[in-house]
């Protein structure tokens, strides 16, 4: 059941006393009581879990008994350790986590090609670049997609479909796909169907979840925050020449982590936290014992709905057509050792068919990194640490020595739901999706020993090879002693070779031979200044590295591109490099989708922000750098910028602009200035304005403050601030035929590949 907490009925503890429940205190069953005693006898506050396997618990009764025991044994006077007494989680609108990736398992010496994707389903025969996926064959969602005849973008809560013909643009079709409750972040397309992913806020949710919070933070009873995070996927029909048609929407309690598509099979990964529970807090030490007992009763009174995510399926009109628990209890796997109160779910859809509830499988563990091949999906879960341990120096040292990451393997077969197979563990922590790679049935994992928040002098990076043996991902081999006192900055697996970069003052570029998984070997080490934050094999035994140049003392000095020769793995060489003329950086370091290499012309395109150190001036550059990569040198061909010139259709909107007379003096809208405008939009209008950043004002607030205008129930007010004259960084680039297209939040622009002359501009 979903619990609602009224302020008048909120539990409180004053002067060391704790109020009791109005209903009798629930009693734990004998089995649960025995488990609670066993967990407590093992010292729940002194145990750090470094590895675990998963196992099915059974039906909902057995699953709830398992959760009751784990939570009741750990709950204290201030709620659950690390979670506090949260009466409503913060609504987080940006997807967290690390992008997942996939490996085909086929022999490869180059990265997944970012081009030559002509003849895609429903697309064009003209060669075009696709998303820069980690491996070929597994598509990753992004903010822009193309099939060679149209470009689909996500900007400012709107899906734009731009028809293209060579270097010119045709019809632009736009539909709103987000509002004040949902911010779309990524899109996948298959033919004329698009799936849009993101995290939003569900006002109908029973709470934001008892999200983890820093240890030592003490919560207090206060105003409830209704609603919570909702991982969302929406289907859109792109066919025809009119406005794209928004179809069904699925909302799941939690945050969207990542998605992947193989053929038409789509996997969506959601991370969820338990619902808010009615915990109390003492005001002084004398009330702690009663508070602990009261909170234990709250745990034992909770239902399975309080701990597992639910879903809501809406039709195109926003009408609820189905809802309930996301996962059948029999398909929920729990770790053999406690790994926190959160859960991670994998949903499966067929992109060629109408949206469903996702046929999910769930594990009772968090997840930071997700990796998928065409046959298996892996979830990496870092050590669960009881925050009450954080005050003990010896325990901190123990974490540094023993911190580990569990990796759980799931089988994925076509559009069938995922099924759990096996688990294993590796020392330390992972960097991102590129830390994992599956090849010939062996999982290779790169990690840095120690905790992710502290690099010790004795830290080192290792590569571990794992292979399934029953329910275990058993270690096959391991090689280490890379980057002593440093951490991994980038890693790339290519067939039976790995390239790895660590950094502190200089950049050791390592080459690792993985031909024998039982005996991996470090073959070469190249020390150069700076570091590579992203590595991209381009064939012919060449690897591009993108990152930062640095002094010999390790002080970064600006963007850097390196070309490595790995023809002799024992003697890797830096053949050429390019550095920015002044302090700058490229988003490729943290977002590999921003990287574009077009092999036909050996052209490399990167977003670049360049400015004097610490100072943004009129000479600062926000755009994309175009480089030509040859074995002997990396040449700057030119730069592309979207500039700050006013759009020809500045301010264009399908909504009605409000006049000063319609805005009450007490309304927030009355304080707009500097070219800001207020819009009144109907439900079926896209909203926004060309050259402006718009956000929605709650209708109730506007209606309460305005005496001259009432917003219809299905309408909305948007406040818009001009942004056309502000820096407009380029986020993505792609190639269609002989044209380079670049995307920013405000614009889609076409330039010829040969001369970089601008041929088209679409203001979004």
| pLDDT per residue as tens digits for the range 678-723 | 889 988 888 889 888 888 776 655 555 555 677 887 788 888 888 8
Largest Cα–Cα separation, the chain: 80
Residue 693 in any domain: the answer is: yes
Short-list 583, 589, 538, CA closest to 564: 538
Which region among 311-320, 511-520, 567-576, 667-676 has the lowest average model confidence (pLDDT)? 667-676
* Average pLDDT score, the chain: 81
Which region among 132-146, 353-367, 387-401, 615-629 has the lowest average model confidence (pLDDT)? 387-401
Q: What are residue 139's DSSP bridge partners?
A: 261
Structure tokens of 203? 């006002």
Short-list 349, 335, 411, 375, CA closest to 197: 349
Contact 131, 111 (CB under 8 A): no
Short-list 67, 78, 79, 84, CA closest to 32: 67
Domain count, the chain: 1
- Of all residues in the chain, the percent with pLDDT exceeding 70 is 77
Residue 100's pLDDT band (cuts 50, 70, 90):
very low
Strand 376-382 versus strand 404-411 pairing type: antiparallel
User: How does DSSP assign 607-638, residue by residue?
Assistant: EEEE-BTTB--TT-EEEEEEEEE-SS-EEEEE
Q: What is the pTM of this model?
A: 0.83
Neighbours of 421 (CB within 10 A): 18
DSSP state of 147: -
Specify the pLDDT at position 104.
35
Residue 220 in any domain: the answer is: no
Residue 709 in any domain: the answer is: yes
Q: What is the pLDDT of residues 554-573, one digit of tens each?
A: 788 889 999 999 999 999 99
Contact 400, 451 (CB under 8 A): yes
Q: Reduced to 3 states, what is the DSSP secondary structure of residue 499? A: strand
Residue 642 in any domain: the answer is: no
Residue 760 in any domain: the answer is: no
Structure tokens of 715? 């309408």
Residue 665 in any domain: the answer is: yes
Most confident of 218-227, 281-290, 662-671: 281-290
What domain range includes position 716? Answer: 656-722
Residue 483 in any domain: the answer is: no
Cα 321 from Cα 684, distance rounded (Å): 21
Helix axes 288-301, 60-74, angle to 10 degrees: 170
Cα 127 from Cα 94, distance rounded (Å): 33
Contact 626, 639 (CB under 8 A): yes
Residue 668 in any domain: the answer is: yes
């Amino acid at each position: 059941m979903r619990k609602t907490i009224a302020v008048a009925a909120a539990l409180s503890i004053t002067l060391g006393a704790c109020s009791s429940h109005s209903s009798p205190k629930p009693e734990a069953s004998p089995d649960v009581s025995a488990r609670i005693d066993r967990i407590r006898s093992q010292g729940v506050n002194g145990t750090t879990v470094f590895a675990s396997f998963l196992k099915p618990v059974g039906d909902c009764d057995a699953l709830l008994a398992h959760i009751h025991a784990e939570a009741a044994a750990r709950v204290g006077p201030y709620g659950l350790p690390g979670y506090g007494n949260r009466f409503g989680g913060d609504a987080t609108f940006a997807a967290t986590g690390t992008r997942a990736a996939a490996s085909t398992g086929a022999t490869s010496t180059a990265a997944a090609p970012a081009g030559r994707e002509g003849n895609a389903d429903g697309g064009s025969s003209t060669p075009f670049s696709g998303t820069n996926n980690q491996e070929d064959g597994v598509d990753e969602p992004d903010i822009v997609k193309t099939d060679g005849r149209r470009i689909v973008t996500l900007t400012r809560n709107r899906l734009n479909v731009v028809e293209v013909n060579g270097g010119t643009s045709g019809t632009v079709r736009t539909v709103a796909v987000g509002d004040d409750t949902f911010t779309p972040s990524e899109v996948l397309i298959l033919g004329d169907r698009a799936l849009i992913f993101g995290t939003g806020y569900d006002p109908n949710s029973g709470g934001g979840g008892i999200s983890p919070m820093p240890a030592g933070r003490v919560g207090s009873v206060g105003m409830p925050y209704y609603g919570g995070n909702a991982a969302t996927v929406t289907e859109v029909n792109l066919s025809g020449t009119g406005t794209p048609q928004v179809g069904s929407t699925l909302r799941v309690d939690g945050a969207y982590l990542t998605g992947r598509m193989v053929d038409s099979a789509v996997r969506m990964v959601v991370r969820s936290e338990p619902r808010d529970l009615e915990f109390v807090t003492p005001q002084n030490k004398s009330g702690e014992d009663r508070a602990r007992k009261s909170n234990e009763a709250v745990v034992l009174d909770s239902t399975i709905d309080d701990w597992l995510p639910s879903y809501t399926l809406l039709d195109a009109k926003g009408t609820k057509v189905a809802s309930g628990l996301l996962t059948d209890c029999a398909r929920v796997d729990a770790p053999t050792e406690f790994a926190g109160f959160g859960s991670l779910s994998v949903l499966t859809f067929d992109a060629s068919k109408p949206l469903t509830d996702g046929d999910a499988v769930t594990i009772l563990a968090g997840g930071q990194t997700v990796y998928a091949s065409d046959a298996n999906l892996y979830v990496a879960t870092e050590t669960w640490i009881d925050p009450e341990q954080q005050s003990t120096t010896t325990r901190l040292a123990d974490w540094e020595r023993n911190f580990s990451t569990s990796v759980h393997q799931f089988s994925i077969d076509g559009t069938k739901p995922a099924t759990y197979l096996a688990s294993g563990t590796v020392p330390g922590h992972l960097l991102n999706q590129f830390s994992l790679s599956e090849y010939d049935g062996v999982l290779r994992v790169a990690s840095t020993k120690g905790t992710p928040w502290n690099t010790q002098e004795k830290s080192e990076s290792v590569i571990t090879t794992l292979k399934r043996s029953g329910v275990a991902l058993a270690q096959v081999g391991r090689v280490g002693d890379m980057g002593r006192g440093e951490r991994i900055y980038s890693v790339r697996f290519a067939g039976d070779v790995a390239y790895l970069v660590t950094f502190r003052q200089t950049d050791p570029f390592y080459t690792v031979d993985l031909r024998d998984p039982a005996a991996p070997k470090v073959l070469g080490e190249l020390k150069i200044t700076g570091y590579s934050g992203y590595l991209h094999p381009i064939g012919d035994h060449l690897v591009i590295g993108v990152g930062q140049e640095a002094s010999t003392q390790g002080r970064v000095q600006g963007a850097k591109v390196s070309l490595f020769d790995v023809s002799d793995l024992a003697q890797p060489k830096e053949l050429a490099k390019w550095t920015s003329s002044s302090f700058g950086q490229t988003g490729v370091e943290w977002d590999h989708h921003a990287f574009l290499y077009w092999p036909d012309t050996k052209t490399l395109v990167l977003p670049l922000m360049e400015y004097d150190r610490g100072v943004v001036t009129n000479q600062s550059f926000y755009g994309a750098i175009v480089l030509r990569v040859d074995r002997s040198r990396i040449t700057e061909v030119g730069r592309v910028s979207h500039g700050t010139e006013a759009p020809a259709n500045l301010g264009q909107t399908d909504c009605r602009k409000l006049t000063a007379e319609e805005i009450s003096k007490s309304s927030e809208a009355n304080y707009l200035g500097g070219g800001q405008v207020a819009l009144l939009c109907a439900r079926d209008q896209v909203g926004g304005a060309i050259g402006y950043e718009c956000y929605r004002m709650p209708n109730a607030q506007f209606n309460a403050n305005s005496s001259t205008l009432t917003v219809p129930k299905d309408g909305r007010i948007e406040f818009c601030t001009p942004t056309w004259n502000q820096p407009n960084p380029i986020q993505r680039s792609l190639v269609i035929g002989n044209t380079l297209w670049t995307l920013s939040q405000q614009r889609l622009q076409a330039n010829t590949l040969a001369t970089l002359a601008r041929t088209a501009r679409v203001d979004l």
